Amino acid sequence: MRVPPYYRLHEVRRLFAGMAIGAILSWLIFLYIYGEWQEEYSVQIRQQEETIRDLEQEKKIWQEDVEKINKENEDKLTIQSIEVKITNYEKYELDELSVYEIEEAVKEDIQTLLKKDIETAFKSRELTRRAIENRSYKVHDKRYRLKIKEIAYYTTLSIQLNLEFE
């Protein structure tokens, strides 16, 4: 049996030529579409990069503004409450009511520091020290003086005191 010579038939030549031309055209169409997609994606990536850069700059500006505002607010912090604690009252065998009365008297003496900003209160620390240490307190017919052990300035003015005989 013999294979017929297809290369002599014109219909077969047209079929192969059509297949070759179709393959070339489809490949060109594929390259065109793929190129268009890549161009769209590259434009989109550039836009996103620009947006990211703009947002990072905006974020940096906001952070600087917030830090600046926080610093200004920290400078303007005020003393909201006063906390006084006598640490060595057991040594003198004082009852807690007497200690409470002395603590309240000290709070009344330095009441003017309430609602003042921390910087002003810190600048007047010597005046505060003198106001507390120069006053004597009478409890059960005995006179006591207070000595400042520690002062902490923040929204709560915290003072720790030691009790001494006058």
pLDDT score recorded for residue 149:
92
Q: pLDDT per position in the chain (166 positions), as tens?
A: 566 665 567 787 788 899 999 999 999 999 999 999 999 999 999 999 999 999 999 999 999 999 999 888 776 788 888 999 999 888 888 888 989 999 999 999 899 888 888 888 889 889 989 989 988 888 888 899 999 999 998 888 999 999 888 7
Helices and strands of the chain, counted as H and E runs: 4, 4
For residues 108 and 127, what is the distance between their CA atoms, to the nearest angstrom? 14
- Look up the domain containing 114 and give its range: 81-165
155 and 73 in contact (C-beta within 8 Å)? no
pLDDT score recorded for residue 1:
55
124 and 110 in contact (C-beta within 8 Å)? no
pLDDT score recorded for residue 137:
87
For residue 1, being part of any structural domain is answered with no
Q: What is the pTM of this model?
A: 0.56
Domain end, chosen from 37, 56, 75, is at 75
For residue 102, being part of any structural domain is answered with yes
Domain end, chosen from 35, 50, 75, is at 75
